[in-house]
Chains A and B, each alone.
Chain A
Amino acid sequence: MDILTLLIVIPVLTVIGILFCKDNKQVRVVSAIGMSIQLIQSIIVVLMYFAERKAGNTSEMVFTQTYMWFSSLNIKYAIGIDGISAVMILLTGIIIFTGVFASWNVKDLSKEFFISLILLATGVFGFFISLDMFTMFLFYEVAVIPMYLLIGIWGSGPKEYSAMKLTLMLMGGSALLLVGLLGIYFNSNPAGGELTWNILEIAKVKIPIEAQRLFFPLTFVGFGVLGALFPFHTWSPDGHASAPTAVSMLHAGVLMKLGGYGCFRIAMFLMPEAANEMGWIFIILTATSVVYGAFGAVVQKDLKYINAYSSVSHCGLVLFAVLMMNKTAMDGAIMQMISHGLMTALFFALIGMIYGRTHTRIITQMGGLMKIMPFLSVCYVIAGLASLGLPGLSGFVAEMTIFVGSFQHVDTFHRIVTIIACSSIVITAVYILRVVGILLLGPVKNDEFLKLKDAEWHEKLTTVVLICAIAGIGLAPLWLSDTISTSLAPIIDKISSASIF
């Protein structure tokens, strides 16, 4: 079996293993073992990818495998990765690994919890290795649906409402997406001949511009809903706030990246002409996302809402950068995906840990946590600093690259939106520092909290792994940006051939 298919097989085997477990403890152990193997496997995939490139393989995708599935519709199980998907796989591996440890204390229906969580991750892995739009869509939906049960059963607050809202909005998005994909399929061979779902084959042809005008917005918005594109982001704050810790981590950390990844891998890559024509609409929307999300975060009092709005802002920045259609900005977009994935996962993990102790997420009810739980507090500060773009951590590298890239456009429109989007950096600093000030510093507001304990081993494991990854990118960004930019080259070639800027 090839190495990429293993990425799907291992989680599925883990799920089957969990089915045979008898109690909580076994379930946790099996999940932890399974996801550790999966993390190692993800690292091996990335290392193998480097080795393959070093050996001189310059093809667009490596480790490609194709098996015919529904031959009359030319649906294939086609897999392969480039540098971008390789790093996304690594990101997913890290987050699902830490997510399992962050859910160490789930007691109620733990078997079902871990099964749903790992199924969700399976969908994500499958999505990132797919080269065929059919399997890609299939995995996309697999990743979305366990969310309903995860939030509905193990969530907090108005969980049923949030779960339903999230599921329906995302499925509504995938409705648009499905039509877009069908449109691409039926226009995948304008010269006549066999139609195809394969992204690489479609990229070789030019889809007729009339079809592009119709299907680009559908595809872009379809993926954009998952990427929290304004005004379709409203599922995100409610969903993230109600979700249990690991689910928030996985959802904000990885699942929202599916949106951004799909936007450029399918919508922009296959239909660059329409992207070029209509880009300005979406640029305005994403710039709104960026600023609106940041302002939204400023006025929230609930820790999870703050972070959810900040995710809207940061993911908006991903789409914003993608739409700039030049190499630097897109490079930044991918880095932002990775960086935001890691730091938002760290945030949600910490919030979950704090909430598990204080049983409140309202910042005004807490204070002085630095004295009570120094380890968690310091981690929170680090996450905050990464989020507001302190040099040396991942956030700075990503945002810097994006804004440099978008400022490369010389026309007024792009300059103005860039400046507007840049302002989010300042607003981010406001809400992050405000939370740090109230929550961690300041006087202890509730004496009950003095009895609380600091992190346990599994919590330390979660946070340390994530912090190492964040600092790793911040201190040595070049390996990441090199990996990305070599793989971006063919995509940029195709996109810029259509660009008029």
Chain B
Amino acid sequence: MRLENFLIMRQELLLTLVALIVLIADLAIKDDKKRIVIPISIVLFFLVTVAGFIPASEGILFGGMYKSTALTILMKNILNVGVLIVFIQSVTWLKRDDLQNKISEYFILIVSTLIGMNFMISSGDFLMFYLGLETATIPIAALAAYEKFKAKSAEAGIKLILSSALSSGILLYGLSMIYGTTGSIYFADVAASFGNTPLHVLAFIFFFAGMAFKISLVPFHLWTADVYEGAPINVTSYLSVISKGAAVFIFTIILYTVFSQIAYLWRELLVIISLLTMTVGNLFAIRQQNLKRFLAFSSIAQAGFILLGILDGSVLGMTSTVYFVMIYIFSNLGAFGVVAAVSNMTNKENMDDYNGFYRTNPKLSLVMMLSLFSLAGIPPVAGFFGKFFLFTAAAHQGYYMLVLVAVLNATISLYYYLLLIKAMFINTSDNPIARINSDFSTKLGLIICVVGIFVIGFASPLYELIRSLSFGF
């Protein structure tokens, strides 16, 4: 391989380097000083994130298995920024005494999943796609069980690995049918010879089901709430934004390139699944008391909204999807960041615990409120723009009824977000959560989220940039 080839894969290679350095550093550092791993990892990862923004050439490697385009680089950068925020937000949690010996594991595992996601996004054939997907999934199960001394965390790990294994099996079965009917696993070849014979359709359905597990679409969402609740909260936030975001990215790319022949079919499918996902996610979210479960169902509902963008199939659709995922990362991390800050200090995770929260912690409450408004799609924060463009994309294909149901669903979601806002701002409590003195890292993580929530919406150049890189069929 020549140097240029390395440069094409620089993001994956740099991440591998980070994982190795952290691993070696962990060996070299004495047991009582393990915490130094935290700043080392974050600084290294920060450098990788910055390096991602240096312009790089596009290219194809391994005979078409690996493909790097400006769009994939952008997607990877979005994920990198998200992971950086997750890292910054986890500092307080990682400093806990009972985790002292496993700090480096956390970073290595997350970085490995990120490597998998990057390969997955850059894949040019189904083999690379599958390898990336598995690399991205298996370490997450370990992460979910990170606090293995807690029964719930261990349970979450097992649930995640079992349901992932099942979904991978289904996906693989679909891929085998694709290979069987087209004789190739390369995206370009498959796309050229893909038709609408029953076997093709079946293959697609299996592929779709496998992906639906990863994005947690209804009716493949059942693992989500339990895993989100059991996993440590910073892992949950990672799972709900980065893991989901990466899956949405590659799902969109594959639908638009490989399966564009049967767009008429998956459009109808996406309409139904999207309706189900939004409605079920929202209706279940209303009843949740535990905030992790609450945000889990809210993120299921958000996935339903994302499908509105995907089903358009034009440049507008892909732009809106990527743009929304980016906004979603910032908004959801803002909400999770507050829950994490509170949970790490007080171990309180229920909605009732937040009664009177504004009087004791006005700043955290405001961050929470802005994040929730962004998730609900209320202007002037970014979520409004994200949702609006998703709806525009769906209306572009003439699905006005779907848009109507979706917007009504957004109103339902506003209801339960307002329940939390009500708890914080309006309800009073004899025993509110005491004032939390957040440390620097928590503050930094939340500030980045708030800035993102405010800026991305108004930043039309960003939208136009994504649009210039997106494609449709």
Q: For chain B, what secondary structure do more than half of its interface residues adopt (helix, strand, loop), or is it mixed?
A: helix
Segment from B52-60, B345-353, B372-380 that makes contact with A: B372-380
* Cβ B414 vs Cβ A167 within 8 A: yes
Asked if A70 is an interface residue, CB under 8 A from chain B, the answer is yes
Tell me the nearest residue of chain B to A211, going by C-beta: B400
Kindly state the separation between the CA atoms of A215 and B415 in the bound complex, as whole angstroms: 26
Q: By the criterion CB–CB under 8 Å, are A153 and B426 in contact?
A: yes
Question: Among the listed stretches B332-340, B384-392, B441-449, which one makes contact with chain A, having 4 or more residues with CB under 8 Å of it?
Answer: B384-392
- Judged by a CB distance under 8 angstroms, whether B221 is at the interface is no
A218 to B407, CA, bound (A): 13
Q: Does A6 contact B (CB under 8 A)?
A: no
The stretch that binds A, out of B178-186, B258-266, B460-468, is: B460-468
Interface residue? A145 (CB, 8 A): yes
Q: Collect the chain B residues with CB atoms within 8 Å of residue A138's CB.
A: 379-380, 384
**Residue contact A142 to B380, C-beta cutoff 8 Å:** yes
- The answer for the CA separation of A11 and B417 in the assembled complex, in Å, is 27
A179 to B387, CA, bound (A): 13
A141 touches B414 (CB 8 A): no
B438 at the interface (CB under 8 A from A): no
In the complex, chain A residues 45-61 whose Cβ is within 8 Å of any chain B Cβ:
none
Contact (Cβ within 8 A) B425 A153? yes
Contact of B380 with A72 in the complex, beta carbons under 8 Å: no
Inter-chain CA distance A174–B408, complex, in Å, is 9
Determine whether the beta carbon of B422 is less than 8 Å from that of A152: yes
A277 to B414, CA, bound (A): 35
**Chain B interface residue number, banded:** 20 to 34
Q: Is A183 close to B, CB under 8 A?
A: yes
Instruction: With A152-B422, A152-B425, A182-B392 as known contacts, state yes or no: A141 contacts B404, CB within 8 Å.
Output: no
- Per the bound structure, the CA–CA distance linking A153 and B421 in Å amounts to 11
A70-B400 CB under 8 A given contacts A160-B422, A167-B414, A179-B395 = no
Is the Cβ of A175 less than 8 Å from the Cβ of B411? yes
Q: Nearest-CB distance from A180 to chain B (Å)?
A: 9
B359, closest chain A residue (CB): A109
Please report the C-alpha to C-alpha distance between residue A69 and residue B388 in the assembled complex, in whole angstroms: 14
Contacts of B415 in A (CB 8 A): 164, 168
Chain A, Cβ-Cβ closest to B411: A171
Q: Which residues of B contact A183 (CB under 8 A)?
A: 395, 400
Residue in chain B with minimal CB distance to A173: B411
A235 within 8 A of B: no
Q: For chain A, residues 71 to 86, give those with C-beta under 8 angstroms from any C-beta of chain B.
A: 71-73, 75
C-alpha gap A178/B418 in the complex (Å): 21
Q: Mark B418-430, 1 if CB is under 8 A from A, else 0.
A: 1001100110000
Closest A residue, CB atoms, query B402: A179
Query: Which of A134, A163, A179 meets B403, CB within 8 Å?
Result: A179
User: A147-185 toward B: CB 8 Å interface, digit per residue (1/0)?
Assistant: 011001100000110011001100110111011001101
A214 lies within 8 A of chain B by Cβ: yes
Q: Which residues of B contact A171 (CB under 8 A)?
A: 410-411, 414
Does any Cβ of B come within 8 Å of A186's Cβ? Answer: yes
Closest to A176 in B: B404
Contacts A71-B464, A138-B384 given: A175-B408 contact, CB under 8 Å?
A: yes
Q: Is B10 an interface residue (CB 8 A)?
A: no
Q: Which positions in B face A, CB cutoff 8 Å?
A: 316, 319, 373, 378-380, 384, 388-389, 391-392, 395-396, 398, 400, 403-404, 407-408, 410-411, 414-415, 418, 421-422, 425-426, 460, 463-464, 467
Q: Which residues of A contact B (CB under 8 A)?
A: 69-73, 75, 134, 137-139, 141-142, 145, 148-149, 152-153, 159-160, 163-164, 167-168, 171-172, 174-176, 178-179, 182-183, 185-186, 214, 218
Given A70-B460, A72-B463, A73-B389, 9 more A-B residue pairs with CB atoms under 8 Å apart are: A73-B392, A145-B373, A148-B421, A172-B411, A175-B408, A176-B407, A178-B388, A179-B395, A182-B391
